[in-house]
Structure 1
Amino acid sequence: MDLETTAAAVLATLPPQPTVNDLSDRTFGRITALMYETVGLSMNASKKSLLASRLAPRIQRLGLRGYDDYLALLLDEHEAAEFQMAVDLLTTNETYFFREPHHFELLEKELVGRRSRAPLSLWSAAASFGDEAYSTAMLLAELQKSGQIGSDWRILATDISHRVLLSAKQGIYPVDRLRHVSPERLKRHCLRGEGAAEGQVMVKDELRERVQFGQLNLCKPIGGIGPFDIVFLRNVLIYFDAETKRAVIDRVAATIKPGGILFMGTAEGRAHAESGLVPLIPGAFRKPMR
């Protein structure tokens, strides 16, 4: 039996893939309420088709009868891994190295302008697959080598998704994800794959060792980390409603040193006035000195 025939035979044993018509408003409401209460993910009624299409292949693969069965699985405290899988399916982790380059230009200007070799602490608060954290590490390693900052710097990278963190720790990426990295910088910090790994690159050990990864839910109280000179909180606030967004910004801002900078996604709006953060450029805010 060839591979195509085997695949067809396997598919024939699976239940039909559910559609949005199989997702009741009640079940949709319970799933979205669970996501909001647990991880702050806000999905209104207009997202029903999106939720249904994202979860349908997983429901079929598990051999479940439909969305009600999947909800029961998500509510089972012993199925934490499946809940995490659902979070991954319902959020978008697409990213790439040196996204929003004007932020990295400001970061470089800020660090060079310090004219100090004092320790530096940075936080990538929604790290996803690590592109942002490793981009920052590349920049800091180069500033260190040129003597513009000291050698005592560290980057903490956190995300709610255990799956993406495992991938981030490996530091292996399709080369297209580094399309904004110059050939010189790519050669300096990465190894190109050969043979079966052609088309991929791996971040070198000396850079990966500078980044500490950990799981963290931004919608819960933050403790035991910081204070930070620089925090990236980009491309995650889009998943939250206004109230949750304000609370997350306040929690994150509390971890920033006076005079430090918070970077947010340019398309995610402004930090609310009550946070006290002062706009610098689109998506960048300074925490005032006391």
Structure 2
Amino acid sequence: MRPDNLAALRKLLLEETGLFFPPEKDYLLVSQVEKRVRAGAGPDPDEYVRRLRADAEEFQELINLITIPETYFMREFKFLDLAARVLLPEIISRKGRGAVLSAGSATGEEAYSLVMLARHYNLPMNKLDFLGLDINTRSLQRARAGVFGPFSIRHAEEEARAILAGFTTPGNNGEIRVKEEIRDAVRFEHCNLLKGLKGFGPFDLVLLRNTLIYIQPGMRPRVLMNIRDAMSEGGYLILGQVEIPGGTFGIFAQEKLEGLTVYSKRENKE
């Protein structure tokens, strides 16, 4: 692929999604473009890139290849546990019901984990709505299916595994299947967080964990503002541990609960 077309592809991805691919990741972009060309999506890599901006369907196919659905059940368990044990009961007590978003939900393990924990703590499920949003349509299909391999539980702690076992059934070759009542509690939809969350929300709790790290730093405030605009006043935001040091650029208030950093949509921002 010609260097100018590769640069144009990086620019298009950045403008349309916020995804940042430094030069050392050029091999990933080139290999996936070549894969689409072999599949008949273009005569050669350079022409493929030139056509891409005008072809939304093909752009989505490329997005599905280059976004990595890196997640697993009960990830950063103490934050999920805090959300189910402390935040969701407070929201229900204050508002009567709560809307929860897993933003950048990938293949769904995070959203399902929180539903399982809500059930584990006997929360009134008829007062909670769970939604997962992601830019990768293939990941969303896998999330809706609710079937996962051993890799999806690879880092689950002992306590988390015990809870997980109560809401899944074993399948073949180490697979686990999320039980129907858990699957039915979550809706998964396509969304580009950089473009806004119009039609979704307002949310009382948002999990935006290990998603911002893939967004170009200068565009992270835009994503956070889009999230904030889709939240109710007093709503909570939980970031991934690797993202907490970067904060929220003053867009959210910061607080400590049981020693853990969480954020909220309040006037006294950080």
| TM-score normalised per structure 2 | 0.85
> 2-side partners of 1:140 and 1:274: how far apart?
30
> 1-side partners of 2:179 and 2:102: how far apart?
19
Post-superposition shift, 1:88? Answer: 2.2
Q: Deviations over 1:75-105 (max 9, x none)?
A: 342xx44322211222211210111122113
> 1-side partners of 2:164 and 2:82: how far apart?
21
Post-superposition shift, 1:159? Answer: 0.7
Paired residue for 2:48?
70
Say whether residues 1:251 and 2:222 are aligned partners: no
Say whether residues 1:211 and 2:186 are aligned partners: yes
Say whether residues 1:84 and 2:64 are aligned partners: no
1:133-148 correspondence to structure 2 within 5 Å: 133-144=111-122, 148=123
Residue aligned with 1:219, SS: helix
1:177-188 correspondence to structure 2 within 5 Å: 177-179=152-154, 180=156, 182-188=160-166
1:225-264 correspondence to structure 2 within 5 Å: 225-264=200-239
1:136-215 correspondence to structure 2 within 5 Å: 136-144=114-122, 148-149=123-124, 151-179=126-154, 180=156, 182-193=160-171, 197-215=172-190
Say whether residues 1:121 and 2:99 are aligned partners: yes
Residue aligned with 1:274, SS: coil
Post-superposition shift, 1:247? Answer: 0.6
> 1-side partners of 2:163 and 2:149: how far apart?
16
% identical aligned pairs: 29
> 2-side partners of 1:253 and 1:115: how far apart?
20
> 2:80 is matched by which residue type in structure 1?
F
Is the contact between residue 249 and residue 271 of structure 1 (CA under 8 Å) also seen in structure 2? Answer: no
> 2:220 is matched by which residue type in structure 1?
K
> 2-side partners of 1:76 and 1:257: how far apart?
36
Residue aligned with 1:151, SS: helix
Q: Deviations over 1:49-89 (max 9, x none)?
A: 33223433443344865421321452342xx4432221122
1:26-45 correspondence to structure 2 within 5 Å: 26-45=4-23
> 1-side partners of 2:54 and 2:63: how far apart?
15
1:75–1:257 Cα change, 3 Å: closer
Shift >4 Å, 4+ stretches: 112-115
Say whether residues 1:101 and 2:98 are aligned partners: no
1:231–1:63 Cα change, 3 Å: closer
Paired residue for 1:20?
none
> 1-side partners of 2:66 and 2:92: how far apart?
44
Paired residue for 2:250?
274
> Which of 21, 25, 29 is equivalent to 1:51?
29
> 1:41 is matched by which residue type in structure 2?
L
Is the contact between residue 232 and residue 264 of structure 1 (CA under 8 Å) also seen in structure 2? Answer: yes
Is the contact between residue 137 and residue 210 of structure 1 (CA under 8 Å) also seen in structure 2? Answer: yes
1:92–1:266 Cα change, 3 Å: same
> 1:188 is matched by which residue type in structure 2?
G
1:101–1:25 Cα change, 3 Å: same
Is the contact between residue 107 and residue 143 of structure 2 (CA under 8 Å) also seen in structure 1? Answer: yes
- Give unmatched runs, 5+ long, in structure 2: none
1:219–1:288 Cα change, 3 Å: same
Is the contact between residue 119 and residue 150 of structure 1 (CA under 8 Å) also seen in structure 2? Answer: no
